[in-house]
Each structure stands twice: as structure tokens, then as C-alpha cells.
Amino acid sequence: MQSINPEAFEIRADGSCVLVGGYSASSDKYHFPVQDCCPYTGATDIERVELSTCGTLWAHTAVTAAPPGYAGPVPYGFGVVELTQERLRVITLLRESDPLALRFGQHMRLATFDAGARVLTWCFESDRSE
């Protein structure tokens, strides 16, 4: 399996995964995906960094109708997770598609999602250790 976007999402040899973002020392802020300049200030002092794999659920919904060109499973979860260390909100797939199984403030962790055609993308799932 390969990453859907190796610049933003890396799959390690041990099967774990990580999101790759950017950090600007001049703004002291993170962004995702990594860009050539800081989206907050325009500074070019971007450092490529691995983002934390844990976060908090800020918003969620279930997508029940496939968007144009999408051939994956439906329904699927979709939401916003704030990464714990960076205080950065990421729009993401959610492993859970039942909105009743999710709640605002729930602890989440990074996982992989089979996007078909031997490609993996990222998603977040409930952190069972909470």
C-alpha cells in the first residue's frame, strides 16, 4: 500500500503513520499540509515537521451520499480534529460514520483508511484508551 499524498501523509515501515505539516518560527504556528510559506504571515521560514497523532474532536457529520468521483464506502465520517500539541485543526475523514457514536471533545488518534486501488489515506478514530 502507498500513501495517497506522501508530502502530507507518511506511512512508516512498521505500519504506523504520521501527518506532515509545516512550522514557522516567526509566527510560532503550525499548518497542514506543509506549504512554502506561512499561511498566517507569508514568512518563508518553514520547517517540515511531523504532527502529533492525537487530538480532540471539534465537529463531525456523516456523509451518506457519495460525492462525484468517489468510489469508496458510504456512509463515512467527516469532521474536524484539533491536534493536541500544535493546537491545529485538521479537516479529516473519521473512521466512525455514526454521529451518535461521536461527541464533541472526544479524544481521537490518527489511523489509516483504505482508499482503494492499493492507496491509504489518513483518518482519525476514537482513542479507545480514554
The strand pair at 119-126 and 2-3 is best described as parallel
Q: Which domain holds residue 62?
A: 2-126
pTM listed for this prediction: 0.88
Cα distance between residue 7 and residue 48, in whole Å: 10
Q: Measured in whole angstroms, how far is the alpha carbon of residue 31 from the centre of its chain?
A: 12
Mapping DSSP to helix (H, G, I), strand (E, B) and coil, where does residue 100 land? helix
The strand pair at 54-63 and 76-83 is best described as antiparallel
* pLDDT per residue of the chain (130 residues) written in tens, 0 to 9: 677 777 888 888 888 899 999 999 999 999 999 999 999 999 999 999 999 999 999 999 999 998 898 777 899 999 999 999 999 999 999 999 998 999 999 999 999 887 766 778 889 999 875 5
Total domains in the chain come to 1
